[in-house]
């Protein structure tokens, strides 16, 4: 992480509503250095994708947000930030468990269960991204989850042992900033290729569901916009979906 400034802020909170919200406000008010972090033991209003909440037991997991100021990244290519964040999480978790995959667009799965989630909030200026607040929740040591969560799992449940959250955070940051440097060095294709290889349910036909019903298809590509390209089994037709227009059928 040699390119990171010593001036970056690291804010540790026992409790906040949402580390993303907290950091976004700090970015607006103080423009902290790239790589600045807010980490909390507990969130009273943890936010997930598409208006969902992110619930996490107090003191057991990793809940943090990180700010970056990507240079000249067009707003319509912001999905590359989801790719590097999910790859960094996968690379970090691979050091403890096998079968970690990225479920399109950016959920982190172990087998068929979700171990981590990402919420990226970009601030666009003109056609480019001015700052990006990358929020991450990783289930680390939690062993009992609310019954209404669909399919959670923690690293502790996978490995059978408790994990040091600080150490995991360090490993994540290392992986993230390696990939971020690749991005700044214009290695987008390599990042896209790696993301493709690490996708959940890639390379075979699986059941999906869209507004017209269920169908079997194979993942063909993920576009730079983040859209998912599927090839249907029955009609050999290409279908392109935005997030939430299609879901995986279990």
H or E element at residue 216:
strand 213-222
Which residue sits closest to ligand BTN, CB atoms considered? 117
Cβ pair 154, 115 in contact under 8 A: yes
Question: What is the pattern of x (binds ligand BTN, CB under 6 A) and - over residues 17-36?
Answer: -xxx----------------
At 38, list the tokens. Answer: 């807010």
Q: Does 105 bind ligand BTN (CB under 6 A)?
A: no
Cβ pair 174, 152 in contact under 8 A: no
Shorter beta-carbon distance to ligand BTN: residue 64 or 200: 64
Cα 1 vs. chain centroid, distance in angstroms? 20
Number of alpha carbons in the 13 Å side-chain half-sphere of residue 137: 26
User: What are the residue ranges of helices labelled H in 98-164?
Assistant: 155-159
Q: Tell me the window of 28-36, 49-57, 69-77, 184-192 that interacts with ligand BTN (CB under 6 A).
A: 49-57
Q: Which of 37, 93, 102, 118 binds ligand BTN (CB under 6 A)?
A: 118
Q: Does 47 bind ligand BTN (CB under 6 A)?
A: yes
Q: Does 226 bind ligand BTN (CB under 6 A)?
A: no
Q: Does 49 bind ligand BTN (CB under 6 A)?
A: yes
In angstroms, the CA 31 to CA 48 distance is 24
Q: Does 73 bind ligand BTN (CB under 6 A)?
A: no
> Could you tell me the smallest distance in angstroms from the CB atom of residue 115 to ligand BTN?
10
Q: Strands 228-232 and 213-222, how do they pair?
A: antiparallel
* Contact set for ligand BTN, span 136-155 (CB under 6 A): 136-137
Q: Tell me the window of 5-13, 131-139, 160-168, 238-246 that interacts with ligand BTN (CB under 6 A).
A: 131-139
């Amino acid at each position: 992480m040699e390119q990171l400034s010593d001036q970056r802020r690291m804010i540790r909170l026992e409790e906040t509503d949402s580390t993303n919200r907290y950091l976004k406000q700090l970015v607006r008010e103080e423009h902290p250095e790239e790589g600045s972090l807010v980490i909390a033991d507990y969130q009273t209003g943890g936010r997930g994708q598409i208006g969902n909440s992110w619930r996490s037991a107090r003191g057991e997991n990793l809940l943090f947000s990180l700010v970056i100021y990507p240079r000249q990244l067009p707003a319509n290519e912001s999905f590359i930030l989801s790719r590097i964040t999910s790859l960094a999480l996968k690379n970090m978790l691979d050091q403890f468990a096998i079968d970690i995959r990225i479920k399109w667009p950016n959920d982190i799965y172990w087998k068929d269960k979700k171990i981590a989630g990402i919420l990226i909030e970009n601030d666009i200026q003109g056609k480019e991204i001015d700052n990006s607040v990358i929020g991450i929740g990783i289930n680390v040591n939690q062993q009992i989850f609310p019954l209404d969560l669909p399919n959670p799992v923690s690293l502790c449940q996978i490995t059978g042992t408790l994990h040091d959250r600080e150490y995991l955070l360090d490993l994540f940051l290392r992986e993230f900033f390696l990939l971020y440097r690749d991005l700044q060095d214009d290695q987008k294709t390599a990042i896209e290729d790696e993301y493709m290889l690490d996708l959940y349910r890639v390379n075979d036909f699986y059941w999906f569901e869209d507004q017209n019903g269920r169908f079997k298809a194979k993942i063909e590509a993920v576009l730079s916009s983040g859209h998912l390209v599927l090839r249907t089994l029955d009609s050999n037709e290409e279908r392109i979906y935005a997030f939430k227009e299609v879901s995986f059928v279990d």
